A and B are shown apart, each in its own frame.
Chain A
Amino acid sequence: MVRRGLGGLVGIATVLLDDGLAAGRQGWLGRVDARAKLLGLLSVLVATTFLRNLGPLALCLGAAWALAWFGGLDMRRVALALLAVPAFTLALAAPAAFNVVTAGTPLVVLCHLGGGHWGPWRVPEFLTVTDRGLFVAARFALRSAACVSLASVLAAATRPQDLFKGLRGLGVPAAFVMVAAMMTRYLDLLLRSAEEIHLAKLSRSLGGVGVAREQAWAAAGMGELYRRSRTVAESVAEAMVSRGYTGEVHTLRQGRWSWQDGTFVAGCLAFGAALLALG
């Protein structure tokens, strides 16, 4: 179980931190400047959090998917975020449709609960799906799905290294950006170390030894990983100093904006404004 969890995540991480040669980043959306994508998509995202009607929310979700499709993204990669996460939200939102969470006019009666009290909570007579509840749940699920889709389009269309450069271009302090960029660089290394440590243990595991020992070994793995992080951090600091680093972070400036980038941002802003106008 542990192995599959870790292995799977390592797989995901490898895919996500991939070279950026992946098909998804070759489409026109992939070529838009990272700053423009950040600015445009995040403004639509913020607008989405202000909406209150189902129509505009659905429109926004549709727009995110259309952008993924026509922007030439690798749909296999986006599909995971586009489908799995909203599905999770749907499951989480579902209880809101019931009268125990949201009171309202019953639409469907599911079962008889019998009323009375359960601890400090009052239990209603029947478990029902209410009209208000259904609306609340739908709006909640739709909003989350739209937001998550927008964010994952952003991630799928931009190489990590460009995303961080873009943040820098938008005024995030250089030191934070460099830390974040370096983190993704070493994430891969640490994940492989973690996997290695895990496999090393597995190759000598002969059977159950009880939870306490298992826990101690998991912790030993993490301790080992920490030591390795420290060692690498020390060497990296030395490597940086050796190439002239003095504590000030300098990074490459950004290229110029093309008219496509400007158009993209303008389009996003207009779309966001339209959404807000629709409510």
Chain B
Amino acid sequence: MHIPDGYLGPQTYITAFGVMAPVWAWASHKVRTTLRLRQVPLMALGAAFTFVIMMFNVPVPGGTTGHAVGAVLVAILLGPWAAVVAVSVALAVQTLLFGDGGVTAFGANCLNMAVIMPFTGWWTYRLMAGRSPAASKRRWVAAALGGYVGLNAAALSAAFMFGIQPALAHDAAGRALYCPFGLHIALPAMAIEHLLLFGVVEAVVTGLVVAYLSKSEPALLECGVALSPALGGRPLWKKLALGVAALVLLTPLGLMIPAKLGAGDAWGEWGGDRLTELAGYLPAGFGKVAALWHAPMPDYAPRGAEEAALPVLSGWYILSGALGVLAVAGLVWMARRWLSRKETDGIAS
């Protein structure tokens, strides 16, 4: 999921850096104030731990192995803001020293793996784990689900970044400048891979490590809570809802800003063509539109309504995003009910 250099155009990667700058500033402020003397070593070891986690191959049923990203695990263990710093640093070192992930795509990679992933995963985990004791079974089931949700959210976002490239940036002849695969390919490819394989690995790793720690040293599981935003105040589910809503709303914004920037750009006459194209691609990502294959290139299938396209597109995106969120929320809710019923059964019997 590490996006290399050359896959994303400047509009996308600059936007990603723009989004990350305030996030980094806020995260380091948070970490500094909560940890003070321990911040530097703890973040450094957290980052090194994330890095090494990515090297553990974990067997999955079916005879293959895969490796986890570990961002949700770090969020659970150290708190989500600490995870933002730790995973960002791990990604920076991978980029600069090991050539894993691009330098220009660094902001985008951080957005996916150091922000979207730990936060969605951590919210899911907190929501499901509730106030259960550190040693309870609910903790690790919650962690596994958190890992699954977090990884898929990150993968979705990465696929989205890939997928909008051909539409956002192409030359006069309509040939893609960067990643040539549109949303209709990028989204299903990433989704299938991550829903069926890597998501499972992430879930297994996150769940089992939390299970191991809850068995052998539950105290370690409580530090994450201590280092994370206070649980008091607004109920957690409200925070979750707010956060997810913000993410869903922000991403089209990320689309719009480059679109506005791009319109005045000297070396791209992206105007109507791109938007039409985007409008044609987007819903496809969610597997709904059968006829999209007609128009891989807008030159062959020009459409009208150029100006209206962006709002329409954003609307589509928000709608599908909201649907996805609802589906996940439903899943979490059902799992939670199932677990707490099992727990009360256990107490009753």
Proximity string of chain A (147-158) to chain B, C-beta cutoff 8 Å, 1 when within and 0 when not: 110011011000
Report if A175 contacts B (CB, 8 A).
Answer: yes
The answer on a CB contact under 8 Å between B209 and A219 is: yes
When distances are taken between beta carbons in the complex, the residues of chain B under 8 Å from A136 are: 175-176, 180
Report if B171 contacts A (CB, 8 A).
Answer: yes
Q: How far is the CA of A186 from the CA of B293 in the complex (A)?
A: 50
8 Å CB contacts to A: which residues of B172-192? Answer: 173-181, 184-185
Residue of B32, B59, B95 near A215 (CB, 8 A) is: B59
Question: In angstroms, how far is the closest chain B Cβ from the Cβ of A139?
Answer: 7
Residues of B whose CB lies within 8 Å of any CB of A are: 4-7, 9-10, 13, 24, 28, 32, 36-49, 51-53, 55-61, 65, 73, 77, 85, 89-90, 92-93, 95-99, 102-104, 171, 173-181, 184-185, 204-205, 208-209, 211-213, 216-217, 220, 267, 284, 287-294, 296-297, 300
The answer on a CB contact under 8 Å between A102 and B180 is: yes
Question: In angstroms, how far is the closest chain A Cβ from the Cβ of B218?
Answer: 12
Residue of A12, A222, A229 near B209 (CB, 8 A) is: A222
Known contacts A45-B104, A46-B104, A218-B58; is A140 also within 8 Å of B180 by CB?
yes
Question: In angstroms, how far is the closest chain A Cβ from the Cβ of B41?
Answer: 4
Closest chain B residue, CB of each to CB of A5: B57
Question: In angstroms, how far is the closest chain A Cβ from the Cβ of B167?
Answer: 13
The answer on a CB contact under 8 Å between B40 and A179 is: yes
Known contacts A211-B59, A225-B52, A229-B48; is A163 also within 8 Å of B290 by CB?
no
Closest chain B residue, CB of each to CB of A124: B293
The answer on a CB contact under 8 Å between B52 and A155 is: no
Residue of A50, A140, A214, A237 near B176 (CB, 8 A) is: A140
Residues of A whose CB lies within 8 Å of any CB of B are: 1-2, 5-6, 9, 12, 16-17, 42, 45-46, 48-50, 52, 81, 85, 89, 93, 95-96, 101-103, 117, 120-122, 132, 135-137, 139-140, 143-148, 151-152, 154-155, 160, 163, 173, 175-176, 178-180, 182-187, 189-191, 194, 211, 214-216, 218-223, 225-227, 229-230, 232-234, 236-237, 240-241, 245-247, 249, 279
Known contacts A101-B181, A175-B40; is A227 also within 8 Å of B99 by CB?
no
Q: How far is the CA of A214 from the CA of B9 in the complex (A)?
A: 42
7 extra interface residue pairs, beta carbon distance < 8 Å, beyond A2-B59, A9-B55: A2-B65, A46-B104, A89-B4, A151-B96, A176-B85, A183-B51, A229-B46
Residue of A89, A102, A145, A222 near B175 (CB, 8 A) is: A102
The answer on a CB contact under 8 Å between A103 and B217 is: no
The answer on a CB contact under 8 Å between B49 and A180 is: no
When distances are taken between beta carbons in the complex, the residues of chain B under 8 Å from A137 are: 180
The answer on a CB contact under 8 Å between B93 and A240 is: no
Q: How far is the CA of A110 from the CA of B289 in the complex (A)?
A: 28
Q: How far is the CA of A135 from the CA of B171 in the complex (A)?
A: 11
The answer on a CB contact under 8 Å between B55 and A6 is: yes
Residue of A96, A179, A247 near B43 (CB, 8 A) is: A179
The answer on a CB contact under 8 Å between B89 and A103 is: no
Q: How far is the CA of A173 from the CA of B331 in the complex (A)?
A: 41
The answer on a CB contact under 8 Å between A219 and B208 is: yes
Question: In angstroms, how far is the closest chain B Cβ from the Cβ of A24?
Answer: 13
* Majority-rule SS of B interface residues: helix
When distances are taken between beta carbons in the complex, the residues of chain A under 8 Å from B300 are: 103
The answer on a CB contact under 8 Å between B6 and A144 is: yes
Q: How far is the CA of A201 from the CA of B48 in the complex (A)?
A: 22
The answer on a CB contact under 8 Å between A179 and B89 is: yes
Question: In angstroms, how far is the closest chain A Cβ from the Cβ of B21?
Answer: 12
The answer on a CB contact under 8 Å between A121 and B293 is: yes
Residue of B4, B36, B95 near A144 (CB, 8 A) is: B4
When distances are taken between beta carbons in the complex, the residues of chain B under 8 Å from A120 are: 284, 287-290, 292
Q: How far is the CA of A249 from the CA of B44 in the complex (A)?
A: 14
Closest chain B residue, CB of each to CB of A1: B65
Q: How far is the CA of A93 from the CA of B289 in the complex (A)?
A: 25
Known contacts A211-B61, A219-B208; is A132 also within 8 Å of B175 by CB?
yes
Q: How far is the CA of A191 from the CA of B93 in the complex (A)?
A: 15
When distances are taken between beta carbons in the complex, the residues of chain B under 8 Å from A225 are: 49, 52-53
When distances are taken between beta carbons in the complex, the residues of chain B under 8 Å from A240 are: 37, 40-41
Question: In angstroms, how far is the closest chain B Cβ from the Cβ of A198?
Answer: 9
When distances are taken between beta carbons in the complex, the residues of chain B under 8 Å from A180 are: 44, 47, 89, 92-93
When distances are taken between beta carbons in the complex, the residues of chain A under 8 Å from B32 are: 175, 247
Question: In angstroms, how far is the closest chain A Cβ from the Cβ of B349?
Answer: 26
Q: How far is the CA of A114 from the CA of B301 in the complex (A)?
A: 23
When distances are taken between beta carbons in the complex, the residues of chain A under 8 Å from B179 are: 140
When distances are taken between beta carbons in the complex, the residues of chain A under 8 Å from B208 are: 215-216, 218-220
The answer on a CB contact under 8 Å between B178 and A143 is: yes
Q: How far is the CA of A189 from the CA of B294 in the complex (A)?
A: 55
Known contacts A215-B59, A229-B46, A236-B41; is A147 also within 8 Å of B6 by CB?
yes
Question: In angstroms, how far is the closest chain B Cβ from the Cβ of A169?
Answer: 15
Q: How far is the CA of A189 from the CA of B48 in the complex (A)?
A: 9
Question: In angstroms, how far is the closest chain A Cβ from the Cβ of B336?
Answer: 23
- Most chain A beta carbons < 10 A, residue from B40, B60, B102, B181: B40
7 inter-chain pairs at a CB distance below 8 angstroms, sorted by A residue, are A102-B296, A151-B102, A152-B99, A180-B89, A183-B48, A229-B46, A237-B37
